[in-house]
Structures are given as structure tokens and as C-alpha cells.
Amino acid sequence: MKITDILIPLIISAVLLTGLIKKVDVWSEFVDGAKGNFKTGIGIIPTLIAIITAVGMFKASGGMDFLTSAVAPITSLFGFPAECAPLAIIKPISGSAALAVLESILRTNGADSFAGRVASVMMGSSETTFYVLAVYFGATKIKNTRHALLCALLGDLTGMIMSAIIVRLLF
Amino acid sequence: MLKWIFSALIILSFIFGIFSGNSKNVSDAVLSESVNAVNLGIYLLGAMCVWGGIMRVAEKSGITDALCRMFSPLAKFLFKGISPKGKAFSAICLNITANLLGLGNAATPFGIEAMKALEKEDNCKDTASGNMIVFAVLNTASITIVPTTVAALRMKNGSENPLEILPAVILTSAATLFVSLSAALILNRIRRKKK
């Protein structure tokens, strides 16, 4: 038994137990929370359809193979799998589009392959940079965001390089 | 940006398809992949809802507040000259907590509130303050404990252990955070001195 096997049941049970002790109506709160995410989940389906269809067409046309072999010489310098390059490009721009690209990488290469693991780690360890900056600064009157984008993209680049290095070290 | 990526992908597949003789596959992909997309959306819905439900219970049980208090020393270190009693401070702590628990929907409103409060407390006109940059950068790096959506996708694609990537995710996040936050803190200091 690994720690990761018990993590989810442990968190769920601990949360429910705390709720019961604090006399929270855990049942209706659970259903309410699930409802909230249900709406979000339904909301991302149109984006998923748009990107998955476009990526699927691109793959079927042979374009994806062309792209990955074209970027392979550059990505191999960092030991980064070329199959994950499309994810690295789209991840800072759109979360649901990245989800679609991740699905395609996992389906083609297998979830437990090197590329599959690197893609999963990259997806799990970064946010949608441009979206976050647009929403957060958009809510204020700030016009000059100074070095915010530079620092955020530096982080994305680190995530891309480190995901490959760390997956190689740990598996 | 997405409109260009979307259009480029489709127009390029049309052109590639003709040159490589894969036009039939491209045509089939329109139907089969859109159906796949709907299946994927439905598939993800399950994990998203369970997590959303549990996290709502966590919120109502005061778990988020307790975590929030844990983060206040970190927030004091990252944000210079911020009042621990101010509105910005509590919104920042709530935002960090929500992000950590994977509550993207809850994190965004707190984040926006924090940005507005920082803007006011730091007296910004149209230029971002150092604190605002640090906070925005913090939010562009993901610090989720359990990446449920990724795990669900891995399980769907036959992973033997969907959560095995967890240690790698945490290490990569830490490296990402370290680099982007250090860059922000260092640049804040350099640029302030110039004035």
C-alpha cells in the first residue's frame, strides 16, 4: 500500500468527520458543492469540443507528427519529450484546451509512458498564466503590469524543464 | 489567441491532409473527435463534482479557515508592508488555501478581491505594485495538493497508479514557484531602487 493509495479516501473521510463534529449538514453541503462544479464541468465541454476536434483533425492529417519531429531537436536539448511540446505551448493560454491536449497525449502514448507522465506532471504543476494575469489585473485599474508576465513565464519554462528532469529521476 | 490556434490547427490539417493523402482521416476525425470530447467532459464531471462537494464541506467545517491561519506567516514574508488586519491580507490567505485545495472557482473571487485591496492599500494609479506582481505570479503557479482532474484523465487512459505522479507534481510546482517568486521579489527590489 502506498501513501498515494490512501490519500483521497483519507482526505474525504477526514473532511466528513470534521464536518460531522462541527455539526455541518454534510449531505446538503456536499450536494451543493457538487452542483457548483457540475455547472463548471458542463461549461468547459464546448471548449473541449472545439480544441479536441481541432487537435484530432491535426493529428489525423499527420500535422502533429510533423510538428513533434520539427521541435524534437530543440526539446531534446532539455531532455523534454517532443510529444509534450503542444501541451507546453497551449498550457499558459487555456486550461480546458490544455486538458484536451493532455488527453490526446495520454491516449496516444499511454498514461504511464515517459511522455504521459511528463505531460501529467506539467499539467498538474502549472496554471493558465495568461488567463490568470488577464483576470486578476483586469479586475483592477492597472495598465502597466511591469515584470508580472516575465516572472510568470519564467515559472512556466521552469515547470516544463523540471517536469522532464523530475519524472526521469523519480521513475 | 485561441482563435488563431483553433483556426490554424484546422486549416493546417486540411492542407496537410491533402498533401499526405490523409483527407479521409481528417474528415472522420471531425465527427469522432467531437464525440470523444463530449465523452471526456462527462467523464471528468464525476471527479470534479465529488471534489467540489467534499471541498464545500471542508469550507463549512472551518477547515479552510484553519488552513488560512497557517498561511499567514508565509503571506507576511512574501508581501511587504501589508497590514495583517487588512482586507488584502485575509483575501490573500483565503486565495492560497483555495488554490491548495484545488478550489479554482473559490480561489478566483478571493484573488480578485485581494488584487483590488492591494491596489488600494499600495496606492497604485495605473502601475502594478510589487505586492500585486508577487500575488499574481503566485497564482500563475499551481500549488494544488491533489490534481484530481489529471488523475481522472490518467485513470481513463489505463494508468496503473493515477496518483503516482503526485511527488513529481509537488516537486515541479515547488521549483516553478521558487523561480517565479524569486524573480518577482528580486525584480521588485531592483526596480524600486532605481526610482
pLDDT, tens only, A13-48:
999 999 999 999 999 999 999 998 898 888 888 888
DSSP A130: H
**In this structure, how many other beta carbons lie within 10 angstroms of the beta carbon of residue B105?**
15
How far apart, in whole angstroms, are the C-alpha atoms of residue B78 and residue B63?
A: 23
Which residues of chain B are within 8 Å of residue A116 when distances are taken between CB atoms?
154, 157, 159
A127: left (phi over 0), alpha (psi -120 to 50) or beta: beta
Instruction: Nearest chain A residue to B44 by CA: give it.
Output: A41
- pLDDT given for residue A53 in this prediction: 92
Check residue A1 and give its pLDDT.
62
**CA triple A50-A41-A33, angle to 5 deg:** 170
Contact between residue A146 and residue A112 where contact means Cβ atoms under 8 Å apart: no
Per-residue model confidence as pLDDT tens digits over B165-179 = 999 999 999 999 999
Chain B interface, best mutation among A57, A66, A114, by max B CB count within 10 A:
A57
Evaluated on CA atoms A150, A151, A154, A156, the torsion sign reads negative
Whether A61 sits inside 8 A of B132 (CB atoms) is no
Shortest CA gap A89–chain B (Å) = 10
If you average pLDDT over every residue of chain A, what do you get? Answer: 90
**A114 pLDDT more than 90:** yes
Which of A40, A126, A37, A133 lies closest to B112, judged by CA?
A133
Residues of chain B above pLDDT 70, percent? 97
Q: Give residue A9's identity as a one-letter amino acid code.
A: P
pLDDT in tens, A120-135: 999 998 888 988 898 8
Mean pLDDT across chain B, nearest whole number?
Answer: 88
State yes or no: pLDDT of B194 exceeds 60: no
Name, of B90-99, B137-146, B167-176, the range with top average pLDDT.
B167-176
- Least confidently predicted of B15-29, B120-134, B143-157: B143-157
Q: Which residue has the higher pLDDT, A89 or A31?
A: A31
Mean pLDDT check: name the lowest of A161-170, B39-48, B104-113. Answer: B104-113
For chain A, the structural domain boundaries read: 43-170
Res. B195 pLDDT band, cuts 50 70 90: very low
CB contact under 8 A, B57 and A124: no
What's the pLDDT score for residue B1?
Answer: 64
User: Do A61 and B12 make contact, defined as CB atoms within 8 angstroms?
Assistant: yes
B62/B104: higher pLDDT: B62
